[in-house]
Each structure stands twice: as structure tokens, then as C-alpha cells.
Amino acid sequence: MAKTPVESINVFWHDGMLTHNTGKGVFDSGMDPGFLDVLENHPENPDRVKNILSILKRGPISPYVSWHPGRPALFSELLSFHTQEYINELVEADKAGGKMVCAGTFLNPDSWDASLLAAGTTLSAMKHILDGHGKIAYALVRPPGHHAQPTQADGYCFLNNAGLAVQLALNSGCGKVVVIDIDVHYGNGTAEGFYQSNKVLTISLHMNHGSWGPSHPQNGSIDELGEAEGFGYNLNIPLPNGTGDKGYMYAMTSLVVPAIQKFDPDMIVLVVGQDSSAFDPNGRQCLTMEGYRGIGRTVRDLADRYTDGRLLIVQEGGYHITYSAYCLHATLEGVLNLPLPLLSDPIAYYPEDEAFAVKDGWRPPPSGSLKLNYDAAVPHGGTGIGVGIKDSEGKVVWAMSKFLQGCFSVEVCKALALREGLCLAKMHGLSVS
């Protein structure tokens, strides 16, 4: 299908979201050990979105941006995803002047109002699309939301903005919705909210960090597949540290695109976090602007193919004050299908994708780059996966295979095989394409 540029992206924003003050301390702890002269801002602070806001207003992409006001969510709207008991807990915490809801997650004065604005602004962005006023909308919101589960807060998140928008789409007649989460952390809250639904395909590409405590019991592994009618509708793609642009695009084209083709959604929600970038303090995935640009193009193509171009983008993490704004700019350039980059990467050069090429004296053959091949089979009583790396002439230069006990789908096996292949390439210094 021919790619056509969209005239504008509808950006939804409200200044009230800047009032959420997360404080200072040692990283996200809020603690002062007493021996540091300079305490840093909490990673999820207003400055991170101020730069995104300003780059959209005054950066090269500004002519393509149409601005719309956000609004607070109604309590009745929150109950489409969260339980009444959980909402009551947050309201009481706000009345008491705030508290640390879980590790690193502080409900301070004005935090609850900002959370309601983030949720309502995201709902307004989705409704803009559903009502036919625009094809593509971006909810620039904070606090983030994809870790918030129906019954608890987690990872700087109180209300699941994307989850609420997905539920609105379902309630408005969308038969099937897909969520593509590229934040560096597993979108556990969104997955949990639709874990038993076959109407929502949740896909998460994330750093292989596992569970981090009682507020985040999910580990983001490939065997978290969903339950009941939702079994097989949660696709986790945990990636090794340093995966980079090529690894992410390989995962997108080899796993995400086929899964969406099979699901055939009516709406796409892209959950973006720039904490997968090469310089983020909270992630180690080494994506550059070009990687984000490529993901944006791929998702736009999926929207054109399956949802008549309808695409909601929801902001999540991203904690490098400058580079997060640049990476968001690049993502939207990709979504716009612009023929040339509007903004150059200030990094200029990052050797991420070439880091595979030389290790322990090994160099790839001069005849060309190597090809990563992987496959899966589901024989009776278990699952087999195979990973091979071939040179340009088709000769296998490295291979491995595994047999897994248990019943897994071919899609899950391929996700595991991809991860094993990328880890294998890094371990042995192989340059893969």
C-alpha cells in the first residue's frame, strides 16, 4: 500500500499536568542521605514534558501540529478500567495531603488533579478520533499510566490513561483494539486490565527487567499470554539490553506486524516512552532518533492498512530531558511519513548497531552482512525453537536449538527465538540484519 503523509497530528495537552511535583532525592526514592550537596529531581518531573511541549510548538515539526485542550476525567469514566475501591484510596490519599503510594510513586498535593487531567486528556484524544474529527491524535500527558493496574498504582503511574482510552474505543463500537507499547518497561498495567479479553491485543517491547516488587508482580516474560478468553492476546517481547535500532525494527517487522495482521484491529494505540533511548537514565536499549522514526513509520503503515489510518499515541516514560524530546519528534516524523528527517540527531553518531561487528578479534566476512534466522515448531508435548545466523551465501556460522516443556503457541515461540537470537549475536560479536 502506498504511504501518504498526514496533514497534521492532533496534540492534546493541559498545563495543569505540570503541577504534579515529584520532589527531589536519590534518583526516585525521595530520600536525602545527608551527604550529597546536590539532590536530583525525581526522573518523572515536569521538565521532561516541558521540552516535548516546546519542541512541538517551536521545533521543525510545529507546522504539522494542531493543538487541542485537555480536560479532567470524570470519576464515572475512571471506573471503566479501575475499581471503585482503588479510586477511593487515591481520593482519600489526596485529601490527607498525599503519600508515597508505592516505591518511587508519590501522590503529592496537586498530583491527583494532574492525574485526572492526564486521564481526561487521553480520553479526549481518543474521542476526537472516534468522532471522525481526525485520524491521528497524540495525548501528551503526565503522570504516565501504563503501569497502573485496575486495583493499584505502580511505577510513577496512578491512572492507566491508555487503558481508559482503549475501553472508551470498545464501548464506542470498536470491535478490536491493539496496544503497541514501546516504553522500555513492560506495560503491565494495561496488560493486566485486558488480560482476559480477546478484544484487545496488548503487545509490549521492553527491557527484560522482570518483576520489581509487590506493585509490579508481572515479569513481562513471553509465557504471560493472557487468561480465559484472553489467552494468546498478550504478546510480550522482552529484549536484551542494548538491542538498538536494528534489533527493535527486527522485532517490529518479524513479530509485531504479523501479530497485528492476524488480529486485524479496528483501532491502534501506540504507547510511547523515550526511555528506550541511547541516553536515558532509566533504560538501556540504545534506540536513537532513527530507530524511533522507523517505529513511527511502521505503526503508521499498520494504521493505514488495518484501521483506516486511526491511531492514538499516548505519552509514557522518557527521562533524558533533551533527548526524549528529540526522540518524540522523530517518532512523529515517522508517523507523518515525511520523506526526509526534519531534525538531525544531536548525538550524530552512536556505535550501537556496529557494536556487534568486532568482538574478541572476530570480524564478519567481507562478502556481506550476516542474517539472523529463527523458527519455531510445536510438536506434541513441548515446543522447539531454532536460531541460526547465516552469511550472505547462506552458510550457517552459528546455530542453537532448544526444546521447551509446556504448551506454547508458535507466536510465543518466535518471540523467544528472536530474543535468543539477539542475545546470541551480542554474545558472539555478530553483526546481524
Which pLDDT tens digits describe the chain residue by residue (433 residues)? 445 556 799 999 999 999 999 999 998 999 999 999 999 999 999 999 999 999 999 999 999 999 999 999 999 999 999 999 999 999 999 999 988 888 889 999 999 999 999 999 999 999 999 999 999 999 999 999 999 999 999 989 999 999 999 999 999 999 999 999 999 999 999 999 999 999 999 999 999 877 767 777 778 888 888 999 999 999 999 998 888 898 899 899 989 999 999 999 999 999 999 999 999 999 989 999 999 999 999 999 999 999 999 999 999 999 999 999 999 999 999 999 998 999 999 986 665 554 333 233 333 444 344 555 555 444 444 445 555 556 566 665 555 545 444 444 556 556 666 666 666 565 555 555 5
Q: In the numeric block, which cell numbers belong to residue 154?
A: 505502580
Active site residue 147: yes
Q: Position of cell 518479524? A: 254
CB 226 within 8 A of CB 195: yes
Q: Position of cell 540484519? A: 433
CB 178 within 8 A of CB 258: no
CB 97 within 8 A of CB 14: no
Other Cβ atoms within 10 Å of 118 Cβ, number: 31
Using left for φ > 0, alpha for ψ between -120 and 50, and beta otherwise, residue 318 falls in left
- pTM for the model: 0.83
- Please state the separation of Cα 364 from the chain's center in Å: 32
CA-nearest of 252, 42, 47, 283 to 183 is 283
Beta strands in 292-370, from DSSP E residues, in sequence order: 311-315
CA-nearest of 304, 195, 184, 297 to 241 is 184
State phi, psi for 261 to the nearest 5 degrees.
Answer: -60, -40
Query: Which residues, in sequence order, are CB contacts of 270 under 8 Å at separation 6+?
Result: 180, 182, 299, 311, 312, 313, 314
The single-letter code of the amino acid at 237 is I
CA-nearest of 401, 433, 405, 407 to 420 is 401
CA-nearest of 343, 339, 385, 393 to 364 is 393
CA dihedral for 176, 205, 214, 89, sign (positive or negative): negative
Catalytic option among 42, 147, 216, 329: 147
Question: Furthest-apart CA pair in the chain: how many Å?
Answer: 68
DSSP 8-state class, residue 255:
I
Report the b/e string of 192-229 with b at 16+ CB within 10 A: bbbbebebbbbbbbbbbbeebeebbebbbbbebbbeee
Beta strands in 14-78, from DSSP E residues, in sequence order: 24-25, 40-41, 65-69
CB 236 within 8 A of CB 188: no
Cα separation of 410 and 258, whole Å?
A: 12
Question: Bridge partners of 277?
Answer: 287
Angle between helices 289-306 and 323-335 (to 10 degrees): 30
